[in-house]
Amino acid sequence: MKKIFLISSIVTILMSCGSSGNGELVGVQQREFWNPTDPYGMVFIPQGSFVMGPSDQDVPFANVSASKRVSVGAFYMDETEITNNEYRQFTNYVRDSLAHLILGEAGIEGHLIEEDEFGNFLDPARINWKTKIRWNDQEVREILEEEMYLSSNERYNSLREFDTRKYNYEYEVLDLQDASNKSKREGNASGKRDRSEFLSVVTVNIYPDTLAWMHDYAYSFNEPYTNDYYSHTAYDDYPVVGVSWKQAVAFTKWRTQEMNKFLRANKQQASPDFRLPTESEWEYAARGGQDLSPYPWGGPYTRNNKGCFLANFKPLRGNYVADGGLKTVKVASYNPNGYGLYDMSGNVAEWTSNAFDESAFSYAHDMNSDYHYNASEDDHPVLKRKVIRGGSWKDIAYFIQNSTRTYEYQDTAKCYIGFRCAVDFLGRDKKDFQ
């Protein structure tokens, strides 16, 4: 009896020390600790409040913005615009995935790199185009020639080139805004509807429009940029251009997928989604903590006290090279702003996540201001306008101001528009986790 009583007492004690918390409300125990680290190549932007809108006169009398105090939560932002080489990682991933799919049906042993130089498992495995593809294997050669490369009648000087028209990236979207609107409009409690109603699959061809250098400027010699800007290593650290808003969004989806794939493989918590910054986040970050300043560097002038220009734009009534660059220049060629962000003015203009509406300032909330509209292919072109910020190498000084807002259409690509990513910071401030 004593033994039975002792065993019963031990079981009771163990049960009382478990998740029940001795009858007290202590929450779920042994949860994984969250220690936020800055994503590679990104800087932390603390939460804050600022006056969003014009800091100077409305030169073109556009009347598309008004001064308004807005509060923004903490987030991360890429310190530079996405470069050609960074975007090439995306296009190579899609290329290798396509080859993996094609060759997998014919037997692909001997063609794959399954681990990187650090011994990390690659999923999907990558194609080693230099050494692994057995070009003397007639079957493999014929499959690749037919499925991956331009046909013989499309080749220039008989060069074998990939058919980039096949570089399609597919991702899923869960439209929470649509779900919220329908729930509110129809009076249904959240979660009562079939979630598949708000799920959709998006397919985007992700290769940059290299012809943008040609079709954006008539009677201008831009063939060298069309031929080499995206492909040549000389331009690896230059901002990627010729990327539409849709392609930029696809990049953020892929970047999220790659990050979370790595984190899951290492048994870590998933990261918040990478995304394009909202218009209010972009302007807040561009100001670098200096409210009411027209430019990211704080002053009202585009030169420093030595007479050097502080950004890559179109100064002096069209003297493009006065600032050191004829067109785009390497990212981070000029000093960063107060938050450590480079090229928030000039070089290339940048896509934001927001739809463009001239009156958006009138009705957008003053907390994390945001206006979205997911335009379909059949919508009127006006509904496909997306906000771009920051101005570019081809713009005069007014258009590189922090507050200047303009737009371009979501399915168009320009040689003067690029992008950078943002990602939510989970929590109030870094100090909360120290």
Identify the pLDDT of residue 187. Answer: 63
Bridge partners of 205?
168
Residue pLDDT, tens place only, 194-241: 888 888 899 999 999 999 999 999 899 999 999 999 999 999 999 999
Please report the beta strands in 356-432, taking only residues with DSSP state E, as ranges in sequence order.
385-389, 405-409, 417-418, 422-424
Return the SS3 of 66.
coil
On the question of pLDDT at 11 being above 50, the answer is no
Identify the pLDDT of residue 64. Answer: 83
| Range with lowest mean pLDDT among 2-6, 65-69, 169-173 | 2-6
Query: Rounded mean pLDDT of the chain?
Result: 87
Identify the pLDDT of residue 237. Answer: 98
Return the SS3 of 383.
helix
Return the SS3 of 77.
strand
Listed in sequence order, the DSSP H helices in 315-430 are: 360-363
Mean of the pLDDT values across residues 107-136?
Answer: 57
On the question of pLDDT at 13 being above 90, the answer is no
Residue pLDDT, tens place only, 21-54: 788 998 988 888 877 888 999 999 999 999 999 8
The residues spanned by each domain of the chain are 32-83+211-434
Q: What CATH class does 32-83+211-434 carry?
A: alpha beta
Peptide bond into 54 cis (omega under 30): no
Hunting for tokens 């031990």 — which residue is that?
10
Contacts of 296 (CB under 8 A, 6+ apart): 286, 287, 288, 337, 338, 341, 344, 345, 402
User: How far apart (Å, rounded) are the C-alpha atoms in residues 389 and 20?
Assistant: 53
pTM: 0.88
Residue pLDDT, tens place only, 138-197: 677 677 778 888 988 998 898 888 999 999 999 998 888 888 877 766 665 555 678 888
On the question of pLDDT at 294 being above 90, the answer is yes
85-104 burial, b at 16+ Cβ within 10 Å, e below that, comes to ebbbebbebbbbbbbbebbe
